[in-house]
């Protein structure tokens, strides 16, 4: 839904504004996804300091990813599907019930759970536009502590995924072909290979275009208007269909925010390469490009 519409529980599938969430807070399952890539404990610390009333906390590293093992699947491998479904049920989520996810502001971490919920087939999931910063700025109440320790369990029926993730073999097979447009959501300096603070190799997948995910939001962390995003993405697509787009980033997290922006703009059908650069660069046989 667009953020200027009244909340309809069955239709909140991209963004939700803070006023709509405040009005219907008791009808939603709310999850705090704040995170720091350089400090795994930071998100939980921030949650315990202050969070939206009734929210639960899920960690990008511990809850929304599998152990990375030898790293060949990247820094944030997909979680076990059944385990994720059970975890969300424990938080009270049932099929048809609205899930709202938030992070500090720009959706770069919350969108990971938004995308994973869709992977489970749960369509009623939305990212809080502007995140916790917008909630506080609007003067809505917060609470402290570890959140609710007991909840009435929900029931999520098994459903087909709303967009399956792209595997590395599909990326390899697409190299040099126009049928797939890979969009790299990382900062320009990482894409160009000038710096690499997280992964062992710098650069990008050959042929990938660069659109840093921060271009999707305004200075206050709220997403740009849908019509603005649509025009910007259509310029990037240059006549290609949205279904041809595969988003990637460092480890499959901020790429989800890019997909969310396209969905909000009405350009549905793009996908995410879950392993992203952190998986791609593990195999020296895979080509690496630098520069523009």
Q: Give the per-residue SS3 of 256-286.
A: HHHHHHHHHCCCCCCEEECCHHHHHCCCCCC
Summarize pLDDT for 113-166 with one digit per residue, the tens.
999 999 999 999 999 999 999 999 999 999 999 987 678 999 999 999 999 999
Q: Out of 28, 33, 249, 256, pick the active-site residue.
A: 249
At residue 270, the pLDDT reads 98
- Helix, strand, coil percentages, rounded to 5, for the chain: 30, 15, 55
60 touches 104 (CB < 8 A): no
At residue 144, the pLDDT reads 96
Nearest in space to 103 (alpha carbons), one of 80, 128, 69, 77:
128
pTM of the entire structure?
A: 0.94
At residue 6, the pLDDT reads 43
Nearest in space to 19 (alpha carbons), one of 110, 139, 106, 124:
139
Q: Does domain 168-280 have CATH number 3.50.50.60?
A: no
Summarize pLDDT for 48-73 with one digit per residue, the tens.
999 999 999 999 999 999 987 777 88
From residue 23, how far is each of 14, 17, 35, 56, 235 by CA, in Å?
Answer: 18, 10, 26, 18, 37
Q: Any catalytic annotation for residue 281?
A: no
CB atoms within 10 A of CB 164: 11
Q: Select the more confidently predicted residue: 37 or 121.
A: 121
Quickly tell me which residue has 């993405």 as its tokens: 233
At residue 97, the pLDDT reads 95
246 touches 183 (CB < 8 A): yes
**For the residues 29-55, what does the mean pLDDT come to?**
96
At residue 16, the pLDDT reads 97
Greatest CA separation found in the chain?
53
Which is the CATH superfamily of the domain at 15-137?
A: Rhodanese-like domain (3.40.250.10)
Summarize pLDDT for 179-188 with one digit per residue, the tens.
999 999 999 9
- The reply to whether 168-280 shares the fold of 15-137 is yes
Q: Could you tell me the pLDDT band of residue 12, with boundaries at 50, 70 and 90?
A: confident
Write down the domain spans for the chain: 15-137, 168-280
> What average pLDDT does the chain have?
94
243 touches 270 (CB < 8 A): yes
Rounded-to-integer distance, Cα 184 and Cα 171, Å? 13
Q: Could you tell me the pLDDT band of residue 202, with boundaries at 50, 70 and 90?
A: very high
């Amino acid at each position: 839904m667009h953020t200027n519409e009244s909340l309809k529980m069955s239709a909140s599938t991209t963004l939700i504004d803070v006023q709509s969430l405040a009005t219907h807070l008791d009808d939603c399952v709310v999850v705090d996804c704040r995170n720091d890539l350089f400090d795994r404990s930071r998100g939980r610390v921030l949650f315990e300091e202050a969070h939206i009333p009734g929210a639960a906390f899920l960690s990008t590293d511990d809850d929304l990813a599998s152990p990375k093992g030898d790293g060949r699947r990247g820094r944030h491998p997909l979680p076990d599907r059944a385990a994720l479904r059970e975890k969300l049920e424990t938080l009270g989520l049932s099929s048809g019930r609205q899930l709202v996810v938030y992070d500090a502001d720009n959706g770069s971490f919350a969108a990971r759970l938004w995308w994973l919920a869709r992977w489970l087939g749960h369509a009623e999931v939305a990212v809080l536009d502007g995140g916790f910063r917008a909630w506080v700025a609007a003067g809505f109440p917060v609470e402290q502590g570890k959140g609710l320790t007991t909840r009435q369990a929900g029931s999520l029926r098994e459903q087909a995924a709303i967009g399956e993730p792209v595997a590395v073999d599909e990326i390899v097979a697409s190299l040099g072909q126009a049928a797939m447009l890979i969009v790299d959501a990382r900062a320009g300096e990482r894409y160009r290979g000038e710096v690499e603070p997280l992964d062992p190799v710098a650069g990008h997948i050959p042929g990938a275009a660069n659109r840093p995910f921060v271009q999707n939001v305004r200075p206050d962390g709220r997403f740009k208007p849908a019509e603005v995003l649509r025009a910007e993405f259509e310029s990037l697509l240059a006549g290609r269909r949205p279904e041809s787009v595969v988003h990637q980033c460092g480890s499959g997290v901020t790429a989800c925010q890019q997909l969310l922006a396209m969905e909000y703009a009405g350009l549905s059908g793009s996908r995410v390469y879950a392993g992203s650069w952190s998986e791609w660069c593990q195999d020296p046989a895979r080509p690496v490009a630098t520069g523009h």
